[in-house]
Amino acid sequence: MKNNVIKRGFLAGTVVMTACAAQAYDLPTVNLGMTSFLDGGLPAGPGWYSQTYFQNYDSNKLMDNQGNKLPLPKTDLNYQVMVEQISYMSNVRVGEHAALGLNFLVPFVSKMDMDDGLNNAAIKAQGGFGDLMIGPFIQFDPVMGANGPKFVQRVEFQVNLPTGKYDREKNINPGNNAVSLDPYWAATYWFNPKWTASTRIHYLYNFKNDDPNYTYGTADDFQAGQAIHANFATDYAVTPQLRLGVNGYWLKQITDNEVNGEKVKGAREQVWAIGPGAMYSFSKNDHVVANAYFEQDAKNRPEGTRLQVRYIHHF
């Protein structure tokens, strides 16, 4: 029973974006590298923002609990995702130094290719709309120094709702069929007016999926474990418009998955990634960010390369 459940942990999965990314594993959609430079604050103050993400993910490795490639003829995974995010930062103040805001995100998996070398007898996948993410947040005012901002931060209580496409007969789905909570703290620090460092740290808690994937047999419910994941980046303004830097992410599952309330040992996920990035500002209202990530040390999940372009517009 134990070995069968561990094997199922690779095949029964959800679509993950990265962030927002679509991968055959048990944790739900999380932000892996979607955000990077200057993440602690919104670039142009109060008002409406639109952020559009385009992401491509490639992997030929589905890793086991020991970090070894699964013994399938092929483990080739490629997907493309678009995420649309609408943000509103209000003029409603929280105390003297912060304001209220709200985020909405909707992912769409436009392309999903999975080749297991067995005519997809082992792993079946589908694209479509993913789960809606909603997050009220508190944006703190920047702490100013003699030459400009020194520090800015935000806290958000993000909730992922099971509105995405889900089929228990598919191993990889855009939707997760379970509610999850993924609150975070984001911050940016200015070493000087040109050089910054940013981070975003999430804590993920998952509720039960009451219609588990078919690979779990007759189980009544499945609950993915809790996890911590974080993005990090540092950049340098080589011109007033162009920033170049390094970006990465890290994920570590800290509790076991559960099937019908019983813990599944040996199925916790982990991965980290690093790569180059750039940000170009056309004006204070329009910005483009490009990031590349090369994953390392994955366990119980794919290991591959993630490329992303993000456009930010303030209305």
pLDDT category at 171 given cuts 50, 70, 90 is confident
Q: What is the reported pLDDT for 21?
A: 31
| Cα–Cα distance measured from residue 31 to residue 103, given in angstroms and rounded to the nearest whole number | 14
11 has a pLDDT exceeding 50: no
Task: Supply the Cα-derived Rg of the chain in whole angstroms.
Answer: 20
| Cα–Cα distance measured from residue 103 to residue 200, given in angstroms and rounded to the nearest whole number | 15
pTM for the structure as a whole: 0.90
φ and ψ of 306, to 5 deg: -120, 125
3 has a pLDDT exceeding 80: no
60 has a pLDDT exceeding 90: yes
φ and ψ of 34, to 5 deg: -65, -35
Q: Is residue 245 within 8 Å of 278, Cβ to Cβ? A: yes
pLDDT category at 26 given cuts 50, 70, 90 is confident
Strands 132-140 and 257-259, by their bridges, are unpaired
**Does residue 188 or residue 72 have the better pLDDT?**
188
| Cα–Cα distance measured from residue 44 to residue 48, given in angstroms and rounded to the nearest whole number | 10
Give me 135's structure tokens: 């997050």
Mean pLDDT lowest among 13-27, 32-46, 238-252: 13-27
Mean pLDDT lowest among 15-19, 108-112, 157-161, 193-197: 15-19
Domains of the chain and any CATH numbers: 2-314 (2.40.160.40)
29 has a pLDDT exceeding 90: no
3-state secondary structure the chain: CHHHHHHHHHHCCECCCEEECCEEECCCCCECCCCCCCCCCCCCCCEEEEEEEEEEEEEEEEECCCCCECCCCCCEEEEEEEEEEEEEEEEEECCCCEEEEEEEEEEEEEEEEEECCCCCCCCCECCEECCEEEEEEEEECCEEECCEEEEEEEEECCEEECCCCCCCCCCECCCCCCCEECCEEEEEEEEECCEEEEEEEEEEEECCECCCCHHHCCCCCEECCCEEEEEEEEEEECCCCEEEEEEEEEEEECCCEEECCEEECCCCCEEEEEEEEEEEEEECCEEEEEEEEEEEEEECCEEEEEEEEEEEEEC
Give me 116's structure tokens: 């297991």
16 has a pLDDT exceeding 50: no
Q: 274-292 pLDDT, tens per residue?
A: 999 999 999 999 999 999 9
**Does residue 134 or residue 21 have the better pLDDT?**
134
**Does residue 23 or residue 229 have the better pLDDT?**
229
